Structure 1
Amino acid sequence: MISVLPDSVIKQIAAGEVIASPACVVRELIENALDAGADRVTISLDQNLSQIRVADNGKGMGLEDLRRCALPHTTSKIRTVSDLQKIITLGFRGEALHSITQVASLQIWSRPRSSPEAVGYEIRYKQGGEVCQEKVSAIAPGTIVTVSDLFTALPVRRQALPKVSQQLKVIQKTIYDIALCYSKVTWQIYHHHKLAWQVSGGETPKQIFPQLLSRFQASDFQYQCQEIETPNQEQSSHLELVVGLPDRASRHKGDWIKTALNGRPVRLPELEQILVSTLTPTLPRDRYPICWLHLQTDPSLIDWNRHPSKSEIYLRHLDYWQEQAQRVLNDALSLNAGNLPESVHNRRVGELIKAKEATGSYQLSDRFSEEPDSNVGLFSLSAIAQLHNTYIIAEHPTGMWLVEQHIAHERIIFEQLQDHWQLIPHDPPLILNHLSPQQQEQLERLGLAIEAFGEDTWAIRTVPKILQSRHDLMDAILELSRGGTLETAQIATACLSALRNGTSLSLEQMQEILDAWQQTRHPHTCPHGRPIYFPLEETELARFFRRHWVIGKSHGI
């Protein structure tokens, strides 16, 4: 039931809503539709964006609610000051519709789902939100809101708006951001009577991403949803994550690091920084990650009442959420059975084949009859051959991978160096000539013990342990002296230390590399951002060779 808020609550609410653009109108109306439980929303925009219509199949409103909904500070979502500490809806201030009536004409059709009458009502409002016309209307359950003549009475504000094409991009972004939070909702957006965009609902946000970024497929993303403890609360929280696999999905600009909180897209710079700092080193230079993080937690930990647009909020226990975001992201990027969507399917097929083995119809390889290692969650990855002394051919329950041995080994060594950067004495000292002042400073920055040893000669008394036994140690130290951060030096060291392509390996050596690589934190790419493996999934092979289980059909029966 919609009612007017008491003065004690109104005084506690942040500054009033401001309708500054068509995108603001669209945002407020779709938030109302989602709060009403809609799973289908249609948005219609006229050519100049002066008329906006949003139709939904939500729970609708009765006549009394329709009469009050556009008055100032009227809402059904909160009642008391204490309700401001436990907001679970997108809207709560009761100002959106009233603010719209200040800058446009407002008309609403609505019919409650639970109404015993098979009719709805059409209401027109005048400036300020008071009803100027009402009548019975035969419509389906749900609500249709039409905003007309937007800013017509405020020509200065309309003239200040960007071009229609730019406004459409803002509206598109607004809808895309919220569509990820409500993945089961279907969206249709029309502009000038033509379908401009459409987003079909899916089971998870992972199925929404390829609709928003058409260059990519669902298999280019990894989805994680984990239940986590809530600080000082009995109720648990959930962290939902969709991340573009670094070897498959990235952008040329950093516009797709997104965060959301309890169903609302918001800026959470502290969590965004965790995503950026973790993912950027896994990508090639000048490429940016694609990642969406959604935290659902107890509303008492959030203060939404900070800014009229609700895009700036206070979130308690930020350090804790940063740790959890890092953990969930690392889980998403790891190679394990849970991250292979085909593994369940193949296991079921394997069970069906086993059932037929007794009749002698099929035989299932013993290699894939074992369950994944329950301790580490790793799947079976078996080295079976080496191609051109460069690629390890690895077989696993969902198909076959080609793993580039040099960059896989480079990833292994790089993470070992990150965890254990160790400098050890080198006796006798390594003598280098013609070092520039910048090279000297770089070696000192990296912690190497360097001192003058004559005219234009320097003695290096400590070196990275992993390089000490190399015959080209001097060249490696010179490479490290050429500048960069400690991480850059570790990448260079890993590259110099990794086994070279063209090196012949035994099956045992290949298996050792696969096992170590599989347990790295970021196994998809090398430290330079190059993809490490190329997957050939069994389902794709079967599709290419036109294999299927329908024996009769394949023989023309």
Structure 2
Amino acid sequence: MSHIRILADHIANQIAAGEVVERPASVIKELVENSLDANAAFVDIEVRQSGGFLRVTDDGDGMGSDDVLLCIERHATSKIRDEKQLSALSTLGFRGEALPSIASVSWMVILSRQQDQELGTRAEIRHGVLRSVHQDGCPRGTTVEVRHLFGNVPARRKFLKSVRTEMYHVEEVVRNLALAHQHVGFTLKIEGRTVLNLLPDTDVELRVREIFQYQGPLLPIPPQPADAESTMAVEGYLLLPETAPAGRAQLRLLVNGRPVQDGMLRHAVNEGLQGFLMKGYRPAGVLLLTIAPDQVDVNVHPAKREVRFRQANVVHGMVAGQVRRAMNDYQQQLRTSLFSRPGPSSDQEAVERSESINILLPSFSQLTTAEPGTAPCLAVSPPQARVEHQTSETAAQETVQISSEPTGSYGGLTLIGQLFSLYLLCEKDGRFIVIDQHAAHERLLYGKLLQEFLAARVPQQSLLFPVTIELTPVQAETLEEHVDEVAALGVAVEHFGGTTWLVKAVPALTSHIEPQGLLREILDALRGPMRQEDGRPVPPAIDELLASMACKAAIKAGNRLQPVEMLKLLAQMEEGTIFSHCPHGRPVLKTFTAQEVERWFHRHGG
């Protein structure tokens, strides 16, 4: 006697429902996707009784009476005919499992009419059993009602979360699908309250703002320029890094109109924002990837939440590159907004025609090793006593040339002053601009260090007497393996015997830092990831080390700056390729409109 038996259809459907129908939101997802596949221009979703009543109505193509009966049969679908179509899917659904699975664990009513029919078809199904079917009057399109979800499998209901959580998931499903299909209008009502009311035929930006209820600035990711050989394109909108949320990720990923969860795509976006996002913060916004159907497999997850790309590395590189280009465009727009001039800069003219007033700067020195076409960076030097003369070997104090008629503006920015010995206060065109002097200088020094490291020309400061350092065996081994990288970072070392080494020179920018501590930090960093990553000019360990060196060398909070030093910092910011964020992702500046400042004092409209 055989012990293996073929399951009854209603049991098989209940098993399938366990994979496809996890909660009320799963039902909404499957029904709305069917509406979108049916070319609906408008989809209305209603949820009542804490998810006990679900209804989705569309104005799509509708179904004839035969199709209404077939749609509740397992593996019955109008979307594929053969295996070739399975590898080139253009629809959201294709398995023919959703409706029979939902019907097997609920009471379902389907009402549908096609354009050329006078009457529609109404079918009632209870726990997978067809109870009645007859003609009925209805508008063109399809309405599906689901009641008593999991009524015949009460164990499944025990796994549902609170009503608030379940309704949150319903909203998320509708938001994600609405982001992917801007040409379709959506309404969502929960317990009679309108949660979403989205008009059809809107652009991506408007839909993003409606979904996120966000009116602030967005970072546009424009579509990649047309390429006849390209099989993919990416576009979208992200919140600017300084407004990105901490903790939970709020990045919506859409592949060919399908909301997905994909770690590779998230990593690509993070890589594109590398150096702009603070640790612990996550990108937020929407990314829409369009790719040839034969280049992506959507049939790898029961609920189709995950996809697999045929050339994942190519997709990763393109997405990261597009996000990075968008940030570079943002830098250029910000530079124009801050430093644009109606005519020649009177400030630069003033510096050029300066009458050589020498001012001793006990906290700063101007590097003279800048490459042609780049601005020299101010570097922190240790505080020293005031002296009356200088030598070429002394970098602790330098003279700075300023005009005999000092100016309080640069590039259209009016310099107001310094606050808390940390923030530069500026004004331009009715905007109040606050600049973090440490973050601004740190970004500039990081860019300079990176260029010098890539060119293997980090300026060195020779020590008057070599410093002896005793390393641990692990540190000594790391130094022997990476002695070339250490030299490229501007640290000259010599083996003294055993695990003892001599430090003979250090990077000029960090000459005020204790050499032993600097070398140990470098060695600890070099034990980190050294694999070259896509889009990064240097390995992550080197990148983090350069950022740390720049941070230590930059102007500190509490450094009181003279007006000429503030103007010099503004000039260097304009010259910098990137200046909006420090290399650790902290914002460099914050802009307030006149209206925002007026609201601080409740001066509305006056």
Normalising by structure 2, we get a TM-score of 0.68
Q: Is the 8 A contact 1:220 1:245 kept in 2?
A: yes
Q: Would the alpha carbon gap of residues 199 and 525 (structure 1) be closer, same or farther in structure 2, given more than 3 Å must change?
A: farther
Identity %: 25
Deviation at 1:79, TM superposition (A): 1.9
Specify which of 268, 275, 288 is matched with residue 269 of structure 2: 275
Deviation at 1:477, TM superposition (A): 6.5
Report the Cα distance in structure 2 between the residues aligned to 1:104 and 1:159, rounded to whole angstroms: 16
Aligned position for 1:298: 292
Aligned position for 1:550: none
Aligned position for 1:524: 580
Deviation at 1:424, TM superposition (A): 5.9
For residues 92-123 of structure 1, give each alpha carbon's deviation from its aligned partner in whole angstroms, at most 9, with x where no partner exists.
122211222211122112233x3363x43322
For residues 326-365 of structure 1, give each alpha carbon's deviation from its aligned partner in whole angstroms, at most 9, with x where no partner exists.
121112222459867x99xxxxxxxxxxxxxxxxxxxx96
Specify which of 446, 464, 467 is matched with residue 414 of structure 1: 446
Describe how 1:106-505 pairs up with structure 2 within 5 A.
Answer: 106-112=108-114, 114-115=115-116, 117=118, 119-125=119-125, 128=128, 130=130, 132-137=132-137, 139-191=138-190, 193-195=191-193, 197-198=195-196, 200-201=198-199, 203-214=202-213, 217-227=214-224, 234=229, 237-247=232-242, 249-279=243-273, 281-336=275-330, 382-388=411-417, 391=424, 393=426, 395=428, 401-421=433-453, 422=456, 423=458, 426-428=461-463, 431-432=466-467, 437=472, 444=479, 447=486, 448-450=491-493, 459-464=502-507, 466-467=509-510, 470=511, 472=512, 474-475=513-514, 478=517, 481=520, 485-499=541-555, 502-505=561-564
Aligned position for 2:90: 88
Instruction: State which drifts further: 504-513 or 296-305.
Output: 504-513
Specify which of 40, 43, 47 is matched with residue 41 of structure 1: 43
Deviation at 1:304, TM superposition (A): 1.9
Describe how 1:15-34 pairs up with structure 2 within 5 A.
Answer: 18-34=20-36
Deviation at 1:174, TM superposition (A): 2.2
Q: Is the 8 A contact 2:467 2:515 kept in 1?
A: no
Aligned position for 1:513: 572
Report the Cα distance in structure 2 between the residues aligned to 1:44 and 1:52, rounded to whole angstroms: 6
Report the Cα distance in structure 2 between the residues aligned to 1:409 and 1:41, rounded to whole angstroms: 52
Deviation at 1:35, TM superposition (A): 1.6
Deviation at 1:295, TM superposition (A): 0.8
Aligned position for 1:355: none
Q: Would the alpha carbon gap of residues 335 and 278 (structure 1) be closer, same or farther in structure 2, given more than 3 Å must change?
A: closer
Report the Cα distance in structure 2 between the residues aligned to 1:86 and 1:150, rounded to whole angstroms: 33
Q: Is the 8 A contact 2:277 2:586 kept in 1?
A: yes
Instruction: State which drifts further: 440-449 or 121-130.
Output: 440-449
Q: Is the 8 A contact 2:179 2:211 kept in 1?
A: no
Normalising by structure 1, we get a TM-score of 0.74
Q: Would the alpha carbon gap of residues 274 and 545 (structure 1) be closer, same or farther in structure 2, given more than 3 Å must change?
A: same
Q: Is the 8 A contact 2:219 2:240 kept in 1?
A: yes
Q: Would the alpha carbon gap of residues 185 and 74 (structure 1) be closer, same or farther in structure 2, given more than 3 Å must change?
A: same
Report the Cα distance in structure 1 between the residues aligned to 2:164 and 2:144, rounded to whole angstroms: 23
Q: Is the 8 A contact 1:243 1:332 kept in 2?
A: no
Q: Is the 8 A contact 2:108 2:144 kept in 1?
A: yes
Deviation at 1:270, TM superposition (A): 1.9
Q: Would the alpha carbon gap of residues 435 and 229 (structure 1) be closer, same or farther in structure 2, given more than 3 Å must change?
A: farther
Equivalent AA in structure 2 for residue 497 of structure 1: A
Report the Cα distance in structure 2 between the residues aligned to 1:292 and 1:257, rounded to whole angstroms: 6
Q: Is the 8 A contact 1:229 1:237 kept in 2?
A: no
Report the Cα distance in structure 1 between the residues aligned to 2:184 and 2:51, rounded to whole angstroms: 24
Deviation at 1:441, TM superposition (A): 6.3
3-state secondary structure, aligned to 1:531 = coil
3-state secondary structure, aligned to 1:260 = strand
Residue correspondences, number: 485
Aligned position for 2:375: none
Q: Would the alpha carbon gap of residues 541 and 392 (structure 1) be closer, same or farther in structure 2, given more than 3 Å must change?
A: closer
Report the Cα distance in structure 2 between the residues aligned to 1:503 and 1:439, rounded to whole angstroms: 46
Q: Would the alpha carbon gap of residues 19 and 510 (structure 1) be closer, same or farther in structure 2, given more than 3 Å must change?
A: closer
Deviation at 1:480, TM superposition (A): 6.6
Q: Would the alpha carbon gap of residues 284 and 442 (structure 1) be closer, same or farther in structure 2, given more than 3 Å must change?
A: farther
Q: Is the 8 A contact 1:72 1:129 kept in 2?
A: no
Report the Cα distance in structure 1 between the residues aligned to 2:203 and 2:598, rounded to whole angstroms: 27
3-state secondary structure, aligned to 1:166 = helix
Report the Cα distance in structure 1 between the residues aligned to 2:563 and 2:472, rounded to whole angstroms: 41
Equivalent AA in structure 2 for residue 100 of structure 1: I
Q: Is the 8 A contact 2:297 2:307 kept in 1?
A: yes
- Calculate the aligned-residue CA RMSD, in Å: 4.1
3-state secondary structure, aligned to 1:74 = coil
Describe how 1:98-109 pairs up with structure 2 within 5 A.
Answer: 98-109=100-111
3-state secondary structure, aligned to 2:325 = helix
Equivalent AA in structure 1 for residue 447 of structure 2: E
